[in-house]
Amino acid sequence: MSTQFEAWFFNNRLPQIRYMMLFTAPLYMLYGFIEFQMDLPMPELRVFFHGLFIPSILMVVFGMTYVPTFTTVMKTLLFFSPIVAIVGNLYLNVGTAAFDCFVPEIYLCMIWTLAMSGLSIRLGSLAVLVYVILTLLFHYSRDAEQPFMFLYFLWMLSSAVFGLVTAIFYRQISLSIYQQQQKLAEIADMDNLTHLLNRHAMQRYFHQSQQAQHLPISVLMIDLDYFKQVNDTFGHMVGDGLLVEFGKLLQEHVRRGDRVGRFGGEEFCVVMPNTQLTQAQTVAESLLAIIHNHHFKHVDSLTASVGVAQALTEESFEGVLTRADQALFLAKSDGRNNVKIFLPTSAVYA
């Protein structure tokens, strides 16, 4: 779930990243313009760096938020662009009288990186550590110690803490929302009585398997024989309990990649990826034997009828389901407690 959440979390932060780039770029352009008006060394380099270079990187990231294939490159730029900005700040200003005017950029970069850049907490914290190391290196390499250096680093630490707390809090809220969404999705995909997959979820699994594997997929339609008599004799409470028990029995005896669902009443379905028609028939016959030999609560034994069909190339779930239903109808008409398959080549039953 961790990988799935990380992908969900990042995708949900894309609008935030997009608008942060859109608003930060003109701020840097304004930053460069103001620097040009001040009596500072290397004014042309300052204008190029803050007024053109950094905004260009930010707008490139802005464009990448619309192209999923550039996600890795975008994260790389999100990591390095504030480092480049701070290197430029330190290179241009450490040791000058105006340095105190430019220190806030470092504080803001720390908060921005941790809380607003879209980087993971791990990468954001690593970037902030790089900022601190770079700041120390520039100060001591140029012998530019401040008289109240401890206060300077106290504000850096405070900025890092504020950004980190915000990032952790936002992530925890997002995780809670994600987990709630997962629970709601599970409930939406679940049959209320048996807790098996419902028709909609089975359809989605069929199409996912079809698109991912491009291999044969077979479908079983299973119907309990004479189940109405069970309800009439023992009542619906007993009948519901038998349906739950029957669903568990199917789940325990299908293969790992197969999915069992309930479509309502006593009708069940099994989607079997990477399964030829003859293999599905063998599984169906095995299930019938297991059902017949199982001792159900309140009812000594039950039987079932099964219809089997294999999906044609690019066939819809409804299409293969219709043919499996037709085979099931023939199995019930032919005395029940048997398996019938729909042969797609000749459009007949066997």
% of the chain beyond a pLDDT of 90: 60
The yes-or-no verdict on residue 1 having pLDDT over 60 is no
The three-state secondary structure class of 203 is helix
- φ/ψ of 334, rounded to 5, equals -95, 25
Highest mean pLDDT among 81-85, 144-148, 210-214: 81-85
Alpha helices in 142-215 (DSSP H): 149-188, 199-213
CB 78 within 8 A of CB 118: yes
C-alpha 274 chain-centroid distance: 25
The three-state secondary structure class of 262 is strand
C-alpha 25 chain-centroid distance: 30
Q: How far apart are CA 42 and CA 101, in angstroms?
A: 16
The yes-or-no verdict on residue 223 having pLDDT over 60 is yes
Q: Which two tokens stand for residue 246?
A: 């029957």
Q: How far apart are CA 334 and CA 270, in angstroms?
A: 22
Q: What per-residue confidence (pLDDT) applies to 62? A: 94
Q: What per-residue confidence (pLDDT) applies to 221? A: 96
Q: Which two tokens stand for residue 299?
A: 């009812």
The three-state secondary structure class of 335 is coil
The three-state secondary structure class of 29 is helix
Q: Which two tokens stand for residue 349?
A: 């039953």
Of residues 35, 105, 266, 315, which has the active-site annotation?
A: 266
Per-residue pLDDT of 144-188, as tens digits, reads 666 667 788 888 899 999 999 999 999 999 999 999 998 888 888
Catalytic site residue 266? yes
Strands 304-310 and 217-224: antiparallel
Q: What per-residue confidence (pLDDT) applies to 254? A: 92
The yes-or-no verdict on residue 297 having pLDDT over 90 is no
